[in-house]
Amino acid sequence: MAALTDADYVCTLDARTLEKAVKELNEDPKNRLGAVDTFRTWLKQQPHLTCRTDTDFLLQFLRYCKFSQLEARKRIEKYLSCQTNIPEWLSDVDYTKDPVLINFFKTGYVLPLGTDDEGRLVIMYRIAQLDFSIDKNKMYKAIMNLTKLLLGQDENLMVNGLLYIMDVSGMTVKHQTFFSMGDMKKSFDLFQNAFPARLKGFHYYNIGPLFETMMQLFLPLFKKKFRDRITMHGDNLESLYKVIPMRLLPEEYLPDDYTGEKNGNVQSIIDGIIKRVQEPESVAYLARISSSTDFRLDESKRPAAEMQASFRKLNVD
């Protein structure tokens, strides 16, 4: 697990990812901990914000915001607002104590597949595996905290980001009504404006008329930079193979004559997820970063605008 303090922190970025962090994110290895300390000092001076200030956690926001102190402040405040206002999705998760969350993973609806040649974590969603009987809050809680866990336990992913595959096979009208506009707005807001996750691409496979109709409703929720990262592959796996390494895809998505490296079948990937989220290290990490008492925003304690402006003048970004 990543270190908690500046004194204990050891950078685990591989050489290629560190080079990318320097070039794309303005990361300066010599001043990295100084940037964290500046961010930490600001947080501790905000009476309305309650937040752990562990080095590994704060680095996620600084890296996402290209080491802009001002942008990192905005994003972590949004993150804490979401933690406070949507606790049913984000707070107090323990996969060892909630069988509903594990049963959700057993459906195979979400499959983390590993990292591609650019170091991006590839995550597949398979809409046909959706269990309509599940409590939607539990579904979102399972997904959101899995994302926080995977991102937080490997700092290379903070730099390289996430890549999504959406297998829309088997979509029905029932799927359209299951995902309300309110739920989608909340989830889009979280991922685009609060989570310190670099979303590098969205690849949709086996789309049909129903999905195209649904997408027209949700497309305006994407920021332009994310709309530009959407690729539609129709029902063409060959097209998908050009952007997703075949070695990462479940065996069920590979041609019969494929003889290269394999990731295993869907069931083996599911078993790996369940094992991962229930490991003691994962349980401890999630307890540390999902506590409703350690992460919250109290609007009643927010300083007056004049105080905020004065503070900013003293702390130049």
Instruction: Please write the tens of the pLDDT for every residue from 293-307.
Output: 999 999 999 988 645
**Confidence at residue 307, expressed as pLDDT on a 0 to 100 scale:** 52
Question: CB of 67 within 8 A of CB of 35?
Answer: yes
**Averaged pLDDT for residues 144-157:** 95
**Averaged pLDDT for residues 256-260:** 94
**Averaged pLDDT for residues 247-275:** 96
**Averaged pLDDT for residues 140-147:** 95
**Does residue 258 carry a pLDDT above 50?**
yes
Where do we find the tokens 């989220």?
Answer: 277
**Confidence at residue 305, expressed as pLDDT on a 0 to 100 scale:** 67
Give 57's pLDDT tier (boundaries 50, 70, 90): very high
Domains and their CATH numbers in the chain: 15-90+293-314 (no CATH), 99-280 (3.40.525.10)
**Does residue 111 carry a pLDDT above 70?**
yes
Question: CB of 147 within 8 A of CB of 289?
Answer: no
Over the chain, what is the mean pLDDT? Answer: 91
Give the DSSP letter string of 91-126: SS--TTT-HHHHHHHHTTSEEEEEE-TTSPEEEEEE
**Averaged pLDDT for residues 19-33:** 97
**Does residue 214 carry a pLDDT above 90?**
no
Residues making up the chain, counted from first to last: 317
Give the DSSP letter string of 246-315: TTTS-GGGS-TT--S-----HHHHHHHHHHHHHSHHHHHHHHHHS-TTTSEE-GGGPPPHHHHHHHHHHS
Check residues 293 and 209 and name the one with the higher pLDDT. 293
Q: Above pLDDT 70, what percent of the chain? A: 94
Q: What is the pLDDT of residues 267-277, one digit of tens each?
A: 999 999 999 99
Amino acid at 22: V
**Confidence at residue 180, expressed as pLDDT on a 0 to 100 scale:** 83
Q: Which residues contact 221 (CB under 8 A, 6 or more apart)?
A: 184, 185, 188
The mean-pLDDT minimum among 77-81, 116-120, 150-154, 209-213 falls in: 209-213
**Averaged pLDDT for residues 202-220:** 84
The mean-pLDDT minimum among 124-138, 199-213, 232-246, 257-271 falls in: 199-213
**Does residue 160 carry a pLDDT above 60?**
yes
**Confidence at residue 65, expressed as pLDDT on a 0 to 100 scale:** 98
Pairwise CA distance, residues 54 & 67, whole Å: 16
Backbone angles phi, psi at 197, to 5 degrees: -115, 125
Cα–chain-centroid distance for residue 218? 19
The mean-pLDDT minimum among 19-28, 147-156, 229-238 falls in: 229-238
**Averaged pLDDT for residues 305-310:** 52
**Confidence at residue 310, expressed as pLDDT on a 0 to 100 scale:** 44
Give 317's pLDDT tier (boundaries 50, 70, 90): very low
Check residues 310 and 10 and name the one with the higher pLDDT. 10
**Confidence at residue 128, expressed as pLDDT on a 0 to 100 scale:** 94
**Does residue 315 carry a pLDDT above 80?**
no
**Does residue 110 carry a pLDDT above 60?**
yes
